[in-house]
Amino acid sequence: MDDAAEVGEAIDKVGERLDKVVAERFQLSRRLAREAIQRGRVDVAGEPCLDPARPVEPGEEIAHHPNRPRPEILERRLTILYEDDDVLIIDKPAGLLTQPTQDRESDTLLERAGRYLRRKRGVKHPYVGIVHRLDQQTTGAILVVTSPRALRPFQAIFRDHAASRTQLAVVEGIFLTPEGTIDLPLTGDAEEGDRRTAPMTHYRVVESYGRAASLVSLRPEPGRPLQARGHMAAIGHPVVGDAIPVPGRRGRAKSPITFPRPALHAASLGFTHPLSKKPVHVESPMPADIAALVEELKQKHGVEPISPDSARDA
């Protein structure tokens, strides 16, 4: 959180450069004023301004936040949904890899978790272990272990699909029934003829937007792997923004709904803690970009809520 800002009086001169005004108002050199602006520490009329040459208009209030973190540092912070001595559950943003690939990316969930633990616990080389993953563009709840003793027990939970996981997705089209189960083996999910480890996805329609799209809640059958994207595509309702092939739709027509990533969010995660034996359940709020997509669909197509009662009666 920022320290108290230094707030200047309303500007009464016309068209002076912002860096000049900041230097004069807060007793800084022009160089330090310019750096403060470029680092996001100066607000004009209540909003950060990064342009030192911006003309300042009469009546605009200037504020200097000398201890405000730089924007790129704020972007790399983590939102923690749950924490104990053995695990972190993190609200992963879109675009962040869980761990580095062979290209050795420096900014990953693994790196951010280590940096958080160094700052929070004062450990120079904190332990961080990955036990499951989310796709790079998928948002939501993801767990990492922070002690060696927790690695194998939590690996077992996710290997055996013993954690309860729910995803929210905006998918193309509307459904004839408000809820159902998809029991389709996908390529590579199970040996031919063996359905015991094949994915099974339960879906529930939350809202429909005209005939264009639906917001659905997806959860795997306990003990089965999570393959929501593949199952949605397999039944002709691909996740909006997903390039996954749709069976039977060669040369798949481009969706009229544009979105820069798969509109898929890991909304909740629950399990019995294998060390403390206590139940843990966390929920991740819908990210801003998917929320904006949903609002746009409502405005364009209207909304038909699907109540839990109607789903049970169907």
What angle in degrees, to the nearest 10, is found between the helix axes of 30-38 and 18-25?
Answer: 110
Pairwise CA distance, residues 205 & 177, whole Å: 8
Per-residue pLDDT of the chain (314 residues; tens, 9 = 90+): 444 555 554 445 557 889 999 999 999 999 999 988 888 889 888 888 888 888 988 888 899 988 876 655 545 678 999 999 999 999 999 999 999 888 888 889 999 999 899 988 888 899 999 999 999 999 999 999 999 999 999 999 999 889 999 999 999 999 989 999 988 776 544 333 344 456 789 999 999 999 999 999 999 887 677 788 889 988 889 999 987 766 655 555 667 888 999 999 999 999 999 999 999 999 999 999 999 999 999 999 999 877 554 333 33
Q: What is the model's pLDDT at position 250?
A: 57
Q: What is the model's pLDDT at position 184?
A: 75
Backbone phi, then psi, for 49, in 5-degree steps? -130, 125
Task: Give the domains, in start order, of the chain with CATH numbers.
Answer: 6-72 (3.10.290.10), 76-159 (3.30.2350.10), 163-265+286-314 (no CATH)
Q: What separation in angstroms does the CA of 247 have from each of 24, 59, 179, 236, 258?
A: 66, 61, 21, 8, 21
Pairwise CA distance, residues 177 & 139, whole Å: 27
Is 135 a catalytic site residue? yes
From the candidates 2, 85, 91, 135, which is the catalytic residue?
135
- Tokens read off for 68: 């405000």
Q: What is the pTM of this model?
A: 0.72
The amino acid that residue 59 corresponds to is G
Q: What is the model's pLDDT at position 38?
A: 83
Q: Where are the beta strands (DSSP E) in the chain?
A: 6-7, 16-17, 42-44, 47-48, 55-56, 62-64, 80-83, 87-92, 129-130, 139-145, 164-172, 179-182, 201-209, 213-220, 264-272, 279-283, 304-305
- Tokens read off for 291: 């929320």
3-state class of 221 per DSSP?
coil
Q: What DSSP element (H or E) covers 119?
A: helix 109-121
The amino acid that residue 41 corresponds to is R
Q: What separation in angstroms does the CA of 290 have from each of 9, 165, 259, 260, 307?
A: 40, 19, 9, 10, 21
